[in-house]
Amino acid sequence: MILIAYATTDGQTRKIARFAADRLAGQGHAVELLNVEDAEGLELARFDAAILAGSLHAGGYQKALRQFVTGAKPALDALPTLFLAVSLSAAGNDPDDWKGLRACLDEFQEDTGWTPGRTEHVAGAFRFSEYDFFRAWAMRRIADQKGQPVEAGKDKEYTDWAALGKMLDGWVSGLGPRVKGA
């Protein structure tokens, strides 16, 4: 069985985690999708592999994700793991943005003590439908600074679903037959 545990701020990481769950379940894998906020008492030993997903906001991943990973580190270390690191910066090719993404990942790994078996950076989305006035203003400003046209009040998704699906297929195929089954 594969655990897919996520933390989300505006909903895009939840959407990405659900996509991963649907994709793997559609291939015959037993999957459990879980928000890390609901993971208290979760017995990780019953899983054969784990995918964790979190999004980067203001230079860090969600507190709930950091707490989950820190507490589950020994069990996670015993499993094949994939970390889906979601951010808007992953949508671009700016070397400074990528340097920042690597620094944030390094900090997350240092804070939690956990090094994922594999990390994939996944482009997120502007979720204006989820933002309050001030956050929407700040996000429009960020988009403008990066030369990304956005319409006020309209969400804009950057996630490459085809690439994500292909990456998931490759990762799960490398796990072998022990994770197959319902």
Q: How far apart are CA 49 and CA 60, in angstroms?
A: 25
Q: What residues make up the domain containing 37?
A: 2-124+159-177
Inform me whether the pLDDT recorded for 153 exceeds 80. no
pLDDT band at residue 164 using 50, 70 and 90 as cut-offs: very high
**Using an 8 Å Cβ cutoff, are 4 and 45 in contact?**
no
Q: Give domain status of residue 137, yes or no.
A: no
pLDDT band at residue 155 using 50, 70 and 90 as cut-offs: confident
Q: How far apart are CA 107 and CA 117, in angstroms?
A: 16
Q: What is the rounded average pLDDT for all residues in the chain?
A: 86
Q: Give domain status of residue 35, yes or no.
A: yes
The pLDDT assigned to 163 comes to 95
**Using an 8 Å Cβ cutoff, are 67 and 42 in contact?**
no
The tens digit of pLDDT for each residue in 85-110 reads: 998 777 777 788 788 889 989 999 99
Q: How many domains does the chain have?
A: 1
Inform me whether the pLDDT recorded for 146 exceeds 60. yes
Q: How far apart are CA 108 and CA 134, in angstroms?
A: 27
Q: Give domain status of residue 103, yes or no.
A: yes
User: Length of the chain, please?
Assistant: 182
Cβ-based neighbours of 50, under 8 Å, separated by 6 or more: 2, 3, 4, 5, 44, 76, 79, 80, 81, 82
Q: Please give the model's pTM, rounded to 2 decimal places.
A: 0.84
